[in-house]
Structure 1
Amino acid sequence: MKQTNTVQVGTWRELLGPKNLGASTVLAGGVALYATNEFLTISLLPSTVADIGGERLYAWVTTVYLVASVVAATTVSAMLARLGPRVAYLSALSVFGLGSVACAMAPSMELLLAGRVVQGAAGGLLAGLGYAVIHSALTPLLWTKASALVSAMWGVGTFVGPAAGGLFAQFGSWRWAFGMLAVLTVAMAVLVPYALPARRADEAGSSERIPLWSLLLLGSAALAVSVAGIPRTIGVTVAFLVAGAALVAAFLVVDRRVTASVLPATAFRPGPLKWMYLTLGLLMAATMANMYVPLFGQRLAHMVPVAAGFLGVALAVGWTTSEIISASLTRTRAIVAVVTAAPLVMAAGLTLAAVSQVDDASGLVIAVWVIALTITGVGVGIAWPHLSAWAMGSAEDPGEGRTAAAAINTVQLICGAFGAGLAGVVVNLNGHGDATAARWLFGVFAVLAAMGVVASYLASRGRTVVARA
C-alpha cells in the first residue's frame, strides 16, 4: 500500500444501493429516533404539564433521559460483542417502543419520568449502535459516508423534534407524539432481520464485560451537570458543574486502567485519537445552544409555538447539507482544512447569533438568526464524518476498533449533556428568556466552539491517508 494525496472512498450509490440500503436505513433510523425524542419535549412539555401536572419536575423530563442515555451508551460495545448487530438492535428497539408507550399512557409526571428513563436507556443503545455497527457491517470505504448519514440524523432531530412537538402541542395531542415514536419503532424493528447480520463470523463466541465503574462515573457526571441546569442559587450551580467535571476526570483515570473500558486503549496513547474525540465532543456541546431557539423565537420575535419550533431547522439544514457535501471530499488537504476550520466556522455562526439578539425582533432580524444558525450547523457538518471515520479506523484490532466506534456516541452524549446543562445555567443566571440571556447564551457557546480549534488542529495534524485496496 502507498500513501496518496487523495482518499479512496465508496459512493453514495453503494451506501444507498440494494446491498446496503436496509442497513443504512436501520443505522440512520435508530439515531433519528433517539435525536427526535431528545428534542421532542422542548415544544411538547408545556401542554404535557397543563394536562397531567408536575411542573416542579419539568426539567427532569430531559435530565433523566440524558443520564439514562449516557449510562446505556457505555454498554454498546459489550452488547454488540455478546449479541451481534441483529439481536442488539431488536432488543434496543423493543425497549424503546415500550418506553414510548409508557410515556404516551402516563397519567402523572412521575410515571412519565419512568417512561423517559426507559426511552433514554434504549435510545442511548440505538445511538451508539448506529456508529458501532458501521464498523461491523460496512466496508471501510463506506465509513465516511455512513458516518455522515448517521450523524446527519442529529441535524434532522433538532428540526423534527421541536417542530413535531410544536404541532402535537398546537392540537392538544401530546400523547400521540409518543405514540408516533412507538409506531415508527415497530416499523424499524420489522426491517432489522432483513437488514443486519445476526453476528459476524469473526465475532462468534466473543464477549466483553460491561464497564461498570466507567458507567457509574459517567452517569453520575451527566446527572450532576444536568441538575446544574435546573434553576437554583449560583453557588449550588457551580458546585454541580465542578462535581461533573471532577467525575469526568475520575472516569478518564479509571477507564485507562480497567480491562473493561469505554474508550479504546489507543485514546490514552500518543496520537490523534483523543483529539478526535475532544473535537467531536466540543462541536456537539456547542450545538446545545439550539435547545433555546424556540424559546427565544417566542419571547423575542413573538412567534407562535409551531413557527418557533421550525426556527431550529436552520441549524439542521446547515448540518445535514454540509455533511453530505463534505463526505464527498477526496483530497487530503481539503479534508484536513475543513476539519481544522470547523470550530471557527461554528463560532462565527454563534457570534452572529449573539450580536443579533434583540427584543421585538423584526422579520429581517429573524432572517439573520436563520443565517447564523445555518452557519453554526455547517461548522458541525463539515468535520463530523471525517472525524468519525478517522476514529473508527484508528485501531488495528477488530475488538478495539468496535470500541473506538461505539465510543464516538458515548463522547457525543456526555458532551451533549454537558452542553445542555451549561445552556441551562447560562440562561437561568441571565434572566428569563429575554435578549440579554440570549446574547449571553450564544456568546458563551461561541467561545466554547472556538476552543475546539486547537483540538481539531491536533486531530488532523500530520494526517496521512493510506489508499485501501
Structure 2
Amino acid sequence: MDAPSRTIPIAEPRISSSGSWRELFSGAHLAAALVLAGGVAMYAMNTFLTAALLPSTIAEVGGSEYFAWVVTAFLIASVLASMLVTRLLGRFGAARGYLLAFAVFGAGTLGAALAPNMEFFLAMRVAQGLGGGLLAGLGYAVIRQALPEHLWTRATGLISAMWGVGTLIGPALGGLFAQLGIWRWAFALLAAVSFLLGALALRALPAGRGPAHPSGRFPVASLLALVLAASAFSVASIVPPGPATAVAILAGAALILGFVLLDRRASSSVLPAFTYRRGNPLKWIYLTLGIASAGAMLEVYLPRFGQEIAALPELPAGLLGATVSVGWSFVQIFSVSIESDRGRRRAMVLGPMLMVLGFGGYALLQLAGASAGTVWGWAAALVLAGSGIGLAFPHLSVAALRSAASPEESAKAAAGVSTAQLISNAVFSALIGVLVSLGSALGTAAPAATAASAAATSAAAMGAGVAVLALIGVGTALRATRSLRPGSTLSPA
C-alpha cells in the first residue's frame, strides 16, 4: 500500500552560499568541471553537428532512405546507455567510468569518420549513442563525488548549459566542414577531443568506486518497453499522416504507460523506487525536466522554416536555429545565483510559463512571406522560450540530486536526470516531427496553398504543440513545488 501523502522537505546546502563561478573554475576544481561539462558538450554537439553533415555524408556514401534512422538509432542507444550509469559507477568508479564512456563515444565517432557506406555509419551511430548516453548521465551523477556540495548548483548549471552550447557550436562547426567538403574530418576532430577528455578524467576525478548498485535482476522488461516506445514514436514521425500515425502514437503512449507499471513493480528499477511513491515529488521533477529539455528539440526545424517561410539565406536561417539555446544558456548563468528556497521554487514554475508564452508567440507569428520584423519577432519569442528552460533547469536538477538521504538512491536519482532528458529527447523529437508532418499536410490541403503558406502552417502546428506541452509542464512544476518546503534533506516518502 502506498504511504500516505505528506510534504517532502527540500534540502538547503550545508553551506549557505552556492559557491562562485571563480571557485568552480579554480585550479582545484577546473579539471573536474571540464570533464563533467565536456562529456555533455560532446553529446549535444554531436547531435547537431551530424544533422549539419548528413546531406554531405549521404551524397558520398548513399543511403538516403535511412535518413530518419540516423537520429533514431543514436537516441535509442543513448536512452539505453543512460540507464546503466549507476551500475557503471558502482563497478568502475568515476574516473574509469568516464574513460570507458569517452572511449566508446570516441571509437564510434572515429568509425563514423571512416564509414564506407550508410549501414556501417548507422552501426557507428549506435556506438556513439551508447557512449553519449553514458556521458550525459555521468555528468549529473558524478557531481556528488567530484565537487563539494556548495558548488552543486553552479556545476549543474554549467552542465545543463552545455546542451545549449552544443546546439550553438554543432551546426556552425558541421556547416563549416561540410562547406569545405571535408565532413569526415569533423568526426575525426570530435573523436580526438573525446579521447583527450577521457585521459583527463583519469587525473581529475575520484578513482574509487561509487555507491554499489543494489543487487537484483537487470530491469530488462522496463528497458525493452522504453526502447519500443521510442521506436514507435520515431515511426510515427516518418509514416504518411493518417491511421498509421495514430496507431504508432497510441502504441508509443501505451508502451510508456507499460514502462511505468513495470518499473514501479520491479525489484530492480530503472528510476529510484521512491519515485513512484505517493507524495514524493521526484516524479514531477523528472516530468518537468523532460518537458523543459524537449523544448529545445524544435531547433532542428527552425533553419528550414526560416528559409521556406521568410526566404532567409543559409547563415541567418542557421542563427535562427540557435535562438532557443541562446536564451537557455544566457539566463541559466544568472538563474544559478538564486539563493533562497522560495526563489528557486518560483523559478521552477516560471520557467515553463515563459516557454508557453515564447512558443505560443512563435506559433501566432507564422505568416507566409514573413517580413524582417516578423522574423525578429520569431527570434524574440524563441529566446523567451529558451530563457524559461534556463531559468528552471538548474533548480529542478539540484532538487533531483538531493532527492534522497542515502548515497545509493541519491546517485540513482541524479542519473535519472539525464535519463529523463534523453527519453524526452527521443520521444518528443519524434512527436515534434509528427506535428510538422501533420501541419504540412493541413497547409498543403488549404485553398490556394503555396509552399510558403504550407510551411507556415507546419511551423505554427509545431509551435502550438510545444506550447501545449509546456503548459502541462507548468502543472507538473506546481505539483513538484507543492511537495517541497525549506528545512532539511529531501527524502523518500
State whether TM-score is above 0.5.
yes
Q: Cα distance, 1:204 vs. partner?
A: 7.4
Is 1:238 matched up with 2:259?
Answer: no
The one-character-per-residue Cα deviations of 1:3-44 (angstroms, maximum 9, x if unpaired) are 989964222222221111111110100000001111223222
AA aligned opposite 1:384: F
Q: Aligned equivalents of 1:403 and 1:208: distance in 2?
A: 15
Cα RMSD (Å): 2.2
Q: Aligned equivalents of 1:4 and 1:97: distance in 2?
A: 38
Identify the match of residue 333 of structure 2 among 293, 316, 324.
324
The one-character-per-residue Cα deviations of 1:51-106 (angstroms, maximum 9, x if unpaired) are 22211111111010001101111111111111101111100111111101111111
Distance 1:439 1:8, change over 3 A: same
Identify the match of residue 263 of structure 1 among 266, 271, 289.
271
Identify the match of residue 256 of structure 2 among 248, 252, 267.
248
Greater mean alpha carbon deviation, residues 338-347 or residues 166-175: 166-175
What aligned pairs does 1:138-217 form with structure 2 within 5 A after superposition? 138-200=147-209, 203=211, 210-217=218-225
Identify the match of residue 434 of structure 1 among 437, 451, 455.
455
Q: Aligned equivalents of 1:285 and 1:256: distance in 2?
A: 24
AA aligned opposite 1:134: I
AA aligned opposite 1:109: M
* Paired-residue identity, %: 46
Aligned to 1:374: 383
Greater mean alpha carbon deviation, residues 202-211 or residues 325-334: 202-211
Aligned to 2:320: 311
Q: Aligned equivalents of 1:333 and 1:377: distance in 2?
A: 22
Distance 1:443 1:331, change over 3 A: same
Is 1:400 matched up with 2:421?
Answer: no
Distance 1:366 1:264, change over 3 A: same
- In 1, are the aligned partners of 2:348 and 2:395 still within 8 Å (CA)? yes
Aligned to 1:459: 480
Greater mean alpha carbon deviation, residues 452-461 or residues 307-316: 307-316
Q: Aligned equivalents of 2:375 and 2:10: distance in 1?
A: 51
What TM-score results when the alignment is normalised by the length of structure 2? 0.90
Aligned to 2:445: none
Q: Aligned equivalents of 1:96 and 1:4: distance in 2?
A: 36
Q: Aligned equivalents of 1:11 and 1:211: distance in 2?
A: 40
Identify the match of residue 84 of structure 1 among 88, 93, 98.
93
Q: Aligned equivalents of 1:4 and 1:74: distance in 2?
A: 28
Q: Aligned equivalents of 1:273 and 1:206: distance in 2?
A: 19
Q: Cα distance, 1:209 vs. partner?
A: 5.7
The one-character-per-residue Cα deviations of 1:148-168 (angstroms, maximum 9, x if unpaired) are 110111111222222222222
- In 2, are the aligned partners of 1:163 and 1:306 still within 8 Å (CA)? no
Q: Aligned equivalents of 1:351 and 1:228: distance in 2?
A: 24
Q: Aligned equivalents of 2:11 and 2:317: distance in 1?
A: 49
The one-character-per-residue Cα deviations of 1:297-351 (angstroms, maximum 9, x if unpaired) are 2222323434322222221121011111111001222221121111110111101
Q: Cα distance, 1:465 vs. partner?
A: 2.6
- In 1, are the aligned partners of 2:95 and 2:203 still within 8 Å (CA)? no
Q: Aligned equivalents of 1:159 and 1:228: distance in 2?
A: 28
SS at match of 2:142: helix
Q: Aligned equivalents of 2:42 and 2:216: distance in 1?
A: 27
Q: Aligned equivalents of 1:116 and 1:25: distance in 2?
A: 24
Q: Cα distance, 1:207 vs. partner?
A: 6.8
SS at match of 2:425: helix
- In 2, are the aligned partners of 1:220 and 1:244 still within 8 Å (CA)? yes
User: Runs of 5+ in structure 2 lacking a partner?
Assistant: 1-8, 442-453
Q: Cα distance, 1:436 vs. partner?
A: 1.0
Q: Aligned equivalents of 2:105 and 2:339: distance in 1?
A: 38
Q: Aligned equivalents of 1:10 and 1:35: distance in 2?
A: 26
SS at match of 1:197: coil
Aligned to 1:275: 284
Distance 1:2 1:345, change over 3 A: closer
Is 1:9 matched up with 2:18?
Answer: yes
SS at match of 1:383: helix
- In 1, are the aligned partners of 2:94 and 2:142 still within 8 Å (CA)? yes
Q: Aligned equivalents of 1:98 and 1:3: distance in 2?
A: 40
SS at match of 1:382: helix
Q: Aligned equivalents of 2:254 and 2:440: distance in 1?
A: 28
SS at match of 1:396: coil
Q: Cα distance, 1:357 vs. partner?
A: 2.1
- In 2, are the aligned partners of 1:7 and 1:331 still within 8 Å (CA)? no
Q: Aligned equivalents of 2:401 and 2:10: distance in 1?
A: 20
The one-character-per-residue Cα deviations of 1:431-456 (angstroms, maximum 9, x if unpaired) are 27711101111111111111111111
Distance 1:303 1:139, change over 3 A: same
Aligned to 1:43: 52
Q: Aligned equivalents of 2:304 and 2:378: distance in 1?
A: 13
AA aligned opposite 1:381: G
- In 2, are the aligned partners of 1:7 and 1:467 still within 8 Å (CA)? no
Q: Aligned equivalents of 1:405 and 1:204: distance in 2?
A: 14
The one-character-per-residue Cα deviations of 1:182-230 (angstroms, maximum 9, x if unpaired) are 1211221221111111115x74798776432222221111111122111
Q: Aligned equivalents of 2:11 and 2:227: distance in 1?
A: 42
Is 1:98 matched up with 2:107?
Answer: yes
- In 2, are the aligned partners of 1:15 and 1:21 still within 8 Å (CA)? yes
- In 2, are the aligned partners of 1:82 and 1:208 still within 8 Å (CA)? no
Greater mean alpha carbon deviation, residues 233-242 or residues 409-418: 233-242
SS at match of 1:464: strand
- In 2, are the aligned partners of 1:75 and 1:211 still within 8 Å (CA)? no
Aligned to 1:385: 394
Identify the match of residue 465 of structure 2 among 417, 422, 444.
444
Greater mean alpha carbon deviation, residues 421-430 or residues 211-220: 211-220
AA aligned opposite 1:182: A
- Tell me how many residue pairs correspond in the alignment: 467
The one-character-per-residue Cα deviations of 1:333-382 (angstroms, maximum 9, x if unpaired) are 22211211111101111011112222333322222122111111111111
AA aligned opposite 1:212: V
Greater mean alpha carbon deviation, residues 132-141 or residues 91-100: 132-141
SS at match of 1:59: helix
AA aligned opposite 1:45: L
Distance 1:339 1:205, change over 3 A: closer
Distance 1:209 1:409, change over 3 A: farther
